[in-house]
Amino acid sequence: MTTFQNFIGGRWVAPSTGEYFENRNPAQHTDLIGRFPASGVADVEAAVASAVRGFARWKATPAPARGDVLRRVGDLLAARKEELADLMTREMGKPLAETRGDVQEGIDTAYYAATEGRRLFGHTVPSELANKWAMTMRRPIGVCGLITPFNFPLAIPTWKAFPALLCGNAVILKPAEDVPHTATVLVEILLEAGLPPEVIQLVHGMGEVVGKALVEHPDVPVISFTGSTETGRLVGETCGRMHKRLSLEMGGKNAQIVLDDADLDLALDGVLWGAFGTTGQRCTATSRLILQDGIHDAFIERLVARAAQLRLGDGRAAGTDVGPLVNAAAREKVEQYVAVGLAEGAVLRLGGARAVGGALDQGHFFQPTIFTGVAPGSRLEQEEIFGPVLSVVRVRTAEEAFTVNNGVRYGLSSSVYTRDVNVAFRALQQLDNGITYVNAPTIGAEAHLPFGGVKQTGNGHREGGWEVYEFYSETKVGYVDYSGALQRAQIDNY
Ligand code: UN1
């Protein structure tokens, strides 16, 4: 069996604890991928000390040269796309088509970052005084602690790490304990591309130990966290107390709205992909389906028939539509929500139980599940499940659909299917989400646009696109007075 290590201080090293945890294939319990470090606080201390040295060197490297490293990272990811997709499916379960997409998102992020090295724009603006220059520039901040989830084992670490690195920061990555292998290969690729070793540190282990130590460390001024709203609150409390810069990406309860005038075939393809892709384990997953009266019954009938035909199985096997849940706890959580839905009086139209029989017995499989008659305000309708469970709400009008969409504490993505351009634009304006799709499902964000949500989903920051470069850098203002005299702003000129 392979034993993997941390990358700290420019070397692959064993954890100070001497302890390891196992990483198994969620589709096949007997398939042991390897043992990974269950690191302790001392490992985080060593990683921070090294990253501080890495930062001193890296911030002095011109941004275009930093971009060149990231371009090579993109090239290496592209060359190894198939291999990475396979190992990612093996450790977290989603089908190969999806893990290929996950790698592609990393490639896109790398190439975007590479070119940003030749932008990192500041502004030059007129001064209110004669013979005085006024401008802004971007400066790196320091050591960034990145805490990443299991569902996009490559894309999300790259969303955080590549812009952080391009801006001149050093990075400490704490990947989810369900997907340590992908993170290990990502770090190998960064090193192969020429990143100076102490600029990146990889510390495996549990959130309560390693994540907590990173968040609490005074020499880590930047934290980026993607995960549950509950954990995000703890992270936020500590970062608030310590005046850290913090980006949070947390829960979602995303809805697809289908109005009477919609292209129903399109809406059907959309909801199947949005609700059951990645086995529902996306922050952007379609967890609610809001149907207008006129099409409700016919749409449900077709949806149930189609969802019943989705093929569950090992994501590495040809023909698999839906893989397993990531681990036993995830499956138990989904089971609990099915019980909640039944107790609340929702009507179970499909699934609702573990998927068993044959090879499915070897993994954490759960049947695609559909509830109808779900009441707005009920727990099933309000709480994030992170599994293949779709709750259907019936409404009379588009406006009522918007109200239901907005009636949850989360605000990541939403989707509306309509042929009426007026309604589509009203939805774009009125839906309280960071992302709204028209005639497309709630998932499908592209790497060069800002990604994030409103309300309890986030804390105002965005990943991706141009906005994330502001998160990972400080604005510095420069004034140059070349008049040769003391000029007092606001005073001498008025
Ligand atoms: C997530 O939902 O956890 O839009 C990230 C998408 C992907 C990224 C999703 N490109 O579904």
The pLDDT tens digits along the chain (494 residues) read: 899 999 999 999 999 999 999 999 999 999 999 999 999 999 999 999 999 999 999 999 999 999 999 999 999 999 999 999 999 999 999 999 999 999 999 999 999 999 999 999 999 999 999 999 999 999 999 999 999 999 999 999 999 999 999 999 999 999 999 999 999 999 999 999 999 999 999 999 999 999 999 999 999 999 999 999 999 999 999 999 999 999 999 999 999 999 999 999 999 999 999 999 999 999 999 999 999 999 999 999 999 999 999 999 999 999 999 999 999 999 999 999 999 999 999 999 999 999 999 999 999 999 999 999 999 999 999 999 999 999 999 999 999 999 999 999 999 999 999 999 999 999 999 999 999 999 999 999 999 999 999 999 999 999 999 999 999 999 999 999 999 999 999 999 99
CA torsion through residues 214, 217, 222, 228, sign: positive
**What's the gap in Å between 300 CA and the centre of ligand 1?**
26
List residues near ligand 1 (CB under 6 A). 105, 151-152, 282-284, 443-445
Count of beta carbons in the 10 Å neighbourhood of residue 381: 24
Ligand 1 nearest atom to the CA of residue 277, by list position: 11
- What type of residue is 294? G
Residue 1 has a pLDDT of: 84
**What's the gap in Å between 326 CA and the centre of ligand 1?**
16
443 Cβ partners below 8 Å, 6+ apart? 273, 274, 277, 278, 282, 284, 285, 286, 413
Query: Ligand 1: which of 99, 284, 287, 457 to mutate, judged by most atoms within 8 Å of the beta carbon?
Result: 284
Only one residue has tokens 């190439």, namely 111
Ligand 1 nearest atom to the CA of residue 445, by list position: 4
**What's the gap in Å between 243 CA and the centre of ligand 1?**
29
Domains of the chain, earliest start first:
6-250+458-477 (3.40.605.10), 254-438 (3.40.309.10)
Q: Is 144 a catalytic residue?
A: no
C-alpha to C-alpha distance for 30 and 282, rounded to whole angstroms = 26
Total number of residues shown for the chain: 494
CA torsion through residues 365, 394, 286, 284, sign: negative
Q: In 174-319, which ranges are continuous DSSP H helix?
A: 180-192, 212-216, 229-241, 264-276, 293-308
- Burial grade of 100 (CB within 10 A; 0-12, 13-18, 19 or more): middle
- Of all protein residues, the one whose alpha carbon is nearest to atom 8 of ligand 1 is 445
Query: Ligand 1: which of 99, 253, 279, 443 to mutate, judged by most atoms within 8 Å of the beta carbon?
Result: 443
351 Cβ partners below 8 Å, 6+ apart? 307, 366, 367, 368, 369, 370, 388, 389
Q: Is 249 a catalytic residue?
A: yes
Q: What pairing do the DSSP bridges indicate for beta strands 143-147 and 222-226?
A: parallel
Count of beta carbons in the 10 Å neighbourhood of residue 191: 17
Query: Which residue among 144, 167, 239, 283 is the active-site one?
Result: 283
Contact by Cβ (8 Å): 376, 394: no
Angle at 130 between CA 127 and CA 131, to 5 degrees: 90
Edge-first strand order for the sheet with 132-139 is: 124-126, 132-139, 474-481
Contact by Cβ (8 Å): 383, 337: yes
Only one residue has tokens 């002095």, namely 60
**What's the gap in Å between 126 CA and the centre of ligand 1?**
41
Ligand 1 nearest atom to the CA of residue 446, by list position: 10
Query: Which residue among 116, 249, 381, 463 is the active-site one?
Result: 249
Query: Ligand 1: which of 108, 147, 152, 385 to mutate, judged by most atoms within 8 Å of the beta carbon?
Result: 152
C-alpha to C-alpha distance for 250 and 453, rounded to whole angstroms = 8
Helix, strand or coil, per DSSP, at residue 109: helix
- Decide: pTM greater than 0.95: yes
Ligand 1 nearest atom to the CA of residue 282, by list position: 2
Give the chain's radius of gyration (CA, Å).
Answer: 24
**What's the gap in Å between 134 CA and the centre of ligand 1?**
39
